[in-house]
Each structure stands twice: as structure tokens, then as C-alpha cells.
Amino acid sequence: MQVRIEESAIAGGVWWEVCVRRVWDARLGLFVPIEPITQRVRRAAMVVVGGAGFTQLVASGRLIERLEIWRAALKATRLFVCVLGLQKLVRRAADEETREFARQMRSALTNSDMPQRAPRASTPAVDVEAAVLKLQVTCPYVSWITQCADSAAALSHVLWQTSGDVALAEHTSGGSSSGETEPIGDKRFVTSDVASSLRVASVRTGTDLPDSWVRALTQIPKVAQPVAQSIACKYPTPHALFSAWHNLPTQNERELLLASITVSSSVSNGRRLGPVMSTRIFRTFNERDPCRPFAEL
């Protein structure tokens, strides 16, 4: 596998090329050797952008437009966006705002009659991570790498890890470990080390939100998988559940909203969730005191 890099004023584009020496023959059920040909990997490409340029795109509202342009120019199904030095930039902006607040407080204490300067506008960098979270929903084809330092060593490490994942997705068949014989399909293209260590956004499919909703419900103590699935079946999104709570007039009705849900499993034999668990789930999502034990809900 080879890595190709193209630089521009704002960002650098990275794509991969592979030398193909065999193809999968479905009739024979095996790989057939061919004359070596070089093909461009269209599953994924990467855009490397500096932290300062990235915050300018966020502040100007042109980031989504740029993402579409980059994806079209690189001709990739999936786009990795690696932002260099973003965390350092965010910390620097936070320090500047802290110093400005301290300066205003000292000025107010020493001479309250003096007119105060208006506080400086918030640096766009402090809103970058919120913008990235929003874009993960609106641009599901993008994986974000926001923890990479602005250094050649850090970028080389990210490229090395991502290249390994792309190569694995391109070439790995099921092998003897899983008993499969055909190559891995697009739906199984994931980033292993990059996803875990650099918090890259997961590959999103049409069932991503319901699966995430069920997993979130199972994090509540004593809410098993069948219980979470039964709740998600009636309220398939968090918004649906919170809207149902909001539409009820009294606190007691909100707490008992889930009590009548039937839990379908081989163990429960169709029992209902009951008022105790219904109340605890409601209070878990609506409790304002973070120090209150779950047993007291």
C-alpha cells in the first residue's frame, strides 16, 4: 500500500493506493492471481488541517461546505479529518479568557468607578469540539481525529495507524479465525486503534442510533438488555421518551410512564417493568444532584 499526499493553502489531502495481484472469484470461492495493477482506495481518504485554519472554518460557518469539497476532490466514501494542535489551541483560548476575567475582577476591586472594558469575544476554538459533535450527526461519513499534536511525529503515528486499518479493510478476509471465506465488506470497515486511542467517530449506519440508545439504557443499574430493548421498542429515540415525559401533566404520571411496558424475554415470562424501575429510570435522567446515590432515587 502506498500513501499519496497533496497539499493546499488550507489543508493537505491524503489517499491510499494498493497494488492488486489477485481478485476474488465467487464461482470458484477463492482468489485468482492477475497481472499486478495499481488502484486507488476509494473507501477512505484523509484531510490534514491545522488547528488555526480549522477554527477559522468553524467561525465562518464554511466547514460543512469544505467537507463536501474535500470528499469530492479525494473521491472517497469515508473521510478522516485530522486537526493538528487543536487541543493546545483550545487550552490557550481558555487561558486567555481566564486571564481576561481575572484582569476585570482586579480592576473592579481596585477602582469600581472606572468604566470597564467590554469582555473580548469568545475565541472560536472553545466552540470547536461542540461543532465537531454536531457535525458527527450531520456528516456521518466523516471520522474526526482531534487529539493529534502539531508535530511530524504525531502525524506520522496517525497516518501509520490509519494506513494499517485501511489496508486491513481492503485486504483481510475472514480467514480461519471466523470461518469466513469472502473479503470483508464495506459495512465492516472500522478503525481499531485510531478509534480507541484518538476518539475517532464510529462508522454510522442506519441502526446506529437505536443501538446506541439500547446501550445507554443498559448503563443504568438493574436495567438488563431485555428491559432496555423493550423500552427502546416503544420509545425508539431519547427524544421520544423525553417528549412523552414532557407531555404528561404531573410528576407522578411521568414517574409511572414506563411501568406498564412488557419485558419480553425467556426469563421474565412477559412481566411488566413495574413502578419501582419506572420511577428510578425517570429520576436517573432527571436528577439534578450528581452526588445522589442511585439507591436513593
Q: Which pLDDT belongs to residue 253? A: 92
- pLDDT at position 204 over 70: no
pLDDT band at 285 (very low <50, low <70, confident <90, very high): confident
Mean pLDDT of 195-221: 58
pLDDT band at 114 (very low <50, low <70, confident <90, very high): very low
Strongest mean pLDDT among 70-74, 200-204, 205-209, 290-294: 70-74
Q: Using one digit for the tens of pLDDT, what is the confidence trace for 164-184?
A: 777 766 665 333 333 333 333
Q: Using one digit for the tens of pLDDT, what is the confidence trace for 230-253?
A: 898 899 888 889 889 989 999 999
Domain 208-296 of CATH type 1.10.150.670: yes
Helix (H) or strand (E) holding 147: strand 142-148
pLDDT band at 257 (very low <50, low <70, confident <90, very high): very high
Mark out the alpha helices in the chain (DSSP H runs): 51-60, 63-74, 86-110, 128-138, 152-171, 175-178, 193-198, 208-218, 225-234, 238-247, 251-255, 275-286
- pLDDT at position 153 over 90: no
Least confident of 11-20, 83-92, 171-180, 216-225: 171-180
Q: CA 261 to CA 277: how far, in whole Å?
A: 11
Q: Which pLDDT belongs to residue 258? A: 93
Query: Are 277 and 263 a contacting pair, CB within 8 Å?
Result: no
* Beta-strand relationship, 30-50 and 11-25: antiparallel
Query: Are 43 and 186 a contacting pair, CB within 8 Å?
Result: yes
> Which of 250, 281, 246, 247 has its CA nearest to residue 263?
281
Residue 80 sits at the vertex; the CA angle it makes with 77 and 81, to the nearest 5 degrees, is 135
Mean pLDDT of 277-286: 88
Domain spans of the chain, in order of start: 2-88+123-198, 208-296
How large a percentage of the chain has pLDDT more than 90? Answer: 5
Question: Which CATH number applies to 2-88+123-198?
Answer: 3.40.50
Strongest mean pLDDT among 5-9, 38-42, 99-103, 257-261: 257-261
Q: Using one digit for the tens of pLDDT, what is the confidence trace for 8-51?
A: 556 788 878 777 777 777 788 787 888 888 777 777 788 888 88
- pTM here is 0.45
In our burial notation (b when 16+ CB lie closer than 10 A, e otherwise), range 4-37 reads eeeeeeebbbbbbebeeeeeeeeeeeeeeeeeee
Mean pLDDT of 120-135: 55
